[in-house]
Chain A
Amino acid sequence: MEKKITIEPVTRVEGHGKVTIYIDDEGNVRQSRLHIVEFRGFERFVQGRPYWEAPVLVQRLCGICPVSHHLAAAKALDVIVGAGTGDGLTPTGEKMRRLMHYGQMFQSHALHFFHLVSPDLLFGIDADPAIRNIIGVAKKHPDLAVMGVMMRKYGQEIIRATAGKKIHGTGAIPGGINKLLTVEERDSFLNGPDPMNIDKMISWSLDSVNFLKGYHKENKDFIDNFAKFPSNHLSLVRKDGALDLYHGVLRAVDSEGKKILHDVDYQDYLSYIGEEVRNWSYMKFPYMLEFGKGDGWYRVGPLARLNCCDFIPTPLAQKEFEEFRAYTKGKPNHMSMHYHWARLIELLHSAEMMKELLHDPDLLEGELVTKGTKVNEGVGLLEAPRGTLFHHYRINEHDQITMANLIVSTTNNNEPMNVAVNHAAKQFMNGQKRISEGMMNAVEVAIRAYDPCLSCATHALGQMPLEIILVGPDQEVIERIRR
Chain B
Amino acid sequence: MGVIRKLFGDQGRKTEKTPLQDDPERTASHSSTNIVNTMSEKVKFTIDGKACVADKGMNLVDAAKINGIYIPTLCHLEGVKPAGSCRICNVRINGRPMTACTTEVAEGMVIENNIPEIQEMRKIIIETLFVSGNHFCPACEKSGNCELQALAYRYQMMVPRFPYEFEEKQVDATSPKLYIDRNRCILCKRCVRSIKKADGKSIFAIKGRGHKAIIIIDHKLAEAMTDEEAQRAMDICPVGSILRKERGYITPIGKRKYDTTPIGSDIEQNVTK
Contact = CB atoms under 8 A, between A and B. Distances in A.
A429 interface: no
A57 B139 contact: yes
B49 interface: no
B138 interface: yes
A137 interface: no
B36 to A, nearest CB: 41
Contacts of A52: 141, 246-249
A165 interface: yes
A361 interface: no
Given A50-B248, A52-B249, A398 B174 contact: yes
A232 B243 CA distance: 46
Given A60-B138, A168-B138, A398-B173, A179 B252 contact: yes
A170 B253 contact: yes
| Range of interface residues on A (Cβ < 8 Å) | 20 to 34
B139 A60 contact: yes
A45 B40 CA distance: 56
Which of B247, B250, B252 neighbours the largest number of chain A CB atoms within 10 Å of its CB? B252
Nearest to A58: B139
Contact of B173 (A50, A56, A178): A50
Interface string B226-262: 0000000000000000010111111111110000000
B253 A399 contact: no
A169 B141 CA distance: 11
B246 A400 contact: no
B155 interface: no
Given A165-B253, A170-B249, A178-B252, A56 B139 contact: yes
Nearest to A59: B139
Contacts of B250: 173, 178, 369
A178 B255 CA distance: 11
B179 interface: yes
A56 B249 contact: yes
A368 to B, nearest CB: 8
Contacts of A57: 139
Nearest to B172: A398
Nearest to B251: A178
B171 to A, nearest CB: 6
Contacts of B251: 178
A332 interface: no
Contact of B253 (A53, A81, A164, A398): A164
Contacts of B171: 48, 400
Contact of A53 (B139, B252, B254): B139
Contacts of B247: 52
A148 interface: no
A398 B174 CA distance: 6
Nearest to A400: B173
Contacts of A103: none
A164 B254 CA distance: 7
A398 B246 CA distance: 11
B139 to A, nearest CB: 4
Contacts of B179: 50, 399
A170 B252 contact: yes
A171 interface: yes
A356 B255 CA distance: 27
B150 to A, nearest CB: 17
Interface in B127-175: 138-139, 141, 171, 173-174
Nearest to B254: A164
B248 A173 contact: yes
A323 to B, nearest CB: 41
A53 B141 contact: yes
A164 B252 contact: yes
A381 to B, nearest CB: 22
A400 B139 CA distance: 15
A178 B249 contact: yes
Contact of B249 (A48, A81, A173): A173
A72 B66 CA distance: 49
Interface string B169-191: 00101100001000000000000
A27 to B, nearest CB: 49
Contacts of A56: 138-139, 141, 248-249
A447 B173 CA distance: 44
A122 B12 CA distance: 71
A140 B86 CA distance: 60
Interface string A398-415: 111000000000000000
Nearest to A171: B252
B248 A53 contact: yes
A168 B253 CA distance: 11
B174 A50 contact: no
Interface string A375-413: 000000000000000000000001110000000000000
Contacts of B255: 179
A163 B141 CA distance: 14
Contacts of B254: 164
Nearest to A48: B171
Contacts of B173: 48, 50, 398-400
A171 B249 CA distance: 8
Contacts of A164: 252-254
B12 to A, nearest CB: 38
Contacts of A400: 171, 173
A165 B137 CA distance: 15
A56 B144 CA distance: 14
A468 B247 CA distance: 51
Interface string A40-57: 000000001010110111
Contacts of A163: 253
Contacts of A398: 173-174
Interface in A236-276: none
25 contacts: A48-B171, A48-B173, A50-B173, A50-B179, A52-B246, A52-B248, A52-B249, A53-B139, A53-B248, A56-B248, A56-B249, A60-B139, A81-B246, A164-B254, A170-B141, A170-B252, A170-B253, A174-B246, A178-B249, A178-B252, A369-B250, A398-B173, A398-B174, A399-B246, A400-B171
Interface of B: 138-139, 141, 171, 173-174, 179, 243, 245-255
Closest 4 CB pairs between A and B?
Answer: A164-B253, A52-B248, A179-B252, A398-B173
